[in-house]
Copies of this chain bind each other. A is one copy, B any other.
């Protein structure tokens, strides 16, 4: 049984803060500070260029990729770190479209995270071959899969509502129709068990700064199913993805397997933090995390619904249909979140009217969620959101 008191002790959470935004940026794992300091002083400072070999910088994207792979049900050697989710989605989509040259539709849903849609739009415009991005409502995806669809591009957990797609079912349905699948795991990895290999997924990508707690701007990762990894072309064909990066040949030759999805020089200091952050998962069972996430989410939903009748639950009530966040709709949601933050409860807001709360059992428990619900009740009952200061929108919302 996972010891959640022990995992909690591994994080630095500021005093007087109830942090319900780990779905956006996870908090600082205590070991990260020393790990990054060592990467700066003992690796870069002392080894200089030698760090690539001596500190193993060159291998980190693959080694850490494999460690993330164990959290998302990926086969060994099928995940590599680097760049951003946007870039990794672009690579996956470019490779997938090239593998389905006779089809012209990229199918996604309107709950997908916008950057996935934007990257698809950019790629489609660049290709100029008449591809279209077909966007449907999340619940209409299955019915919209037809023989025109080259790729089904979905985020498993909706960043706004927390709605969870059925990865195994949609993957099977897509493949039966001859399409490939790309799963964005940004709100899945570390939030609930993911089984890419079991679902037969083709491609996936995700970030490490949300439920994996690897810090602001931490690198993304990409998954390519082993059956595709020697056929998929990376499109963004950089030297670190070359079969022999240090031969400096004039022509690109894709590396073996997942290595070809590497592009440029990896962000060594950010990777050091990923390494530290993954240490928290030693001894943690994702089944336990999932069970506790459901229990905590049910509690928070019940508390808020009984205390704040002004709010509308947007997250599916059925635990099997949601990820690890709880969202409520409220027309003054932006100001209400600011009022909450001013009182130490950190959630966030997503346009147009969504108040989001991340449920992260590694460092959040019942007591905090009940206190958060009480503070939210105070904000709502006393219209504390109705202060002009809370209505000014910051650059990042």
Q: What residues make up the interface of A, taking CB atoms closer than 8 Å to B? A: 12, 14, 17, 19, 21, 24-25, 27-28, 32-33, 36-37, 40-41, 43-46, 48-53, 57-59, 83-87, 90, 94, 98, 110, 113-115, 117-119, 121-123, 125-129, 135, 160, 207, 209, 215-220, 233-240, 242, 246-252, 263-271, 273, 341, 346, 348, 350-351, 394-397
- Taking CB atoms, residues of chain B closer than 8 Å to A50 are 341, 346
A256 to chain B, nearest CB (A): 14
Whether B14 pairs with A45 at a CB distance below 8 angstroms is: yes
CA distance A209 to B341 in the complex (A): 38
Whether B87 pairs with A83 at a CB distance below 8 angstroms is: yes
CA distance A271 to B216 in the complex (A): 10
- Taking CB atoms, residues of chain B closer than 8 Å to A236 are 86-87, 90, 119, 122
A85-B264, A121-B237 known; A215 vs B396 contact (CB < 8 Å): no
Q: Can you give 22 A-B contacts (C-beta < 8 A)?
A: A21-B48, A25-B51, A27-B45, A28-B40, A36-B36, A36-B269, A40-B273, A49-B346, A51-B216, A52-B395, A57-B216, A57-B217, A58-B396, A83-B84, A83-B264, A84-B238, A86-B239, A87-B263, A94-B126, A160-B248, A216-B268, A219-B267
Q: Which of A45, A123, A395 has the most CB of B within 10 A?
A: A45
A323 to chain B, nearest CB (A): 17
Which chain B residue shows the least CB distance to A13?
B48
Which chain B residue shows the least CB distance to A347?
B49
CA distance A172 to B87 in the complex (A): 34
CA distance A290 to B128 in the complex (A): 45
Whether B125 pairs with A127 at a CB distance below 8 angstroms is: no
Which chain B residue shows the least CB distance to A233?
B125
CA distance A51 to B37 in the complex (A): 20
- Taking CB atoms, residues of chain B closer than 8 Å to A40 are 28, 32-33, 36, 215, 273
Whether B265 pairs with A84 at a CB distance below 8 angstroms is: yes
- Taking CB atoms, residues of chain B closer than 8 Å to A117 are 250-252
Whether B52 pairs with A396 at a CB distance below 8 angstroms is: yes
Whether A122 pairs with B234 at a CB distance below 8 angstroms is: yes
A14 to chain B, nearest CB (A): 5
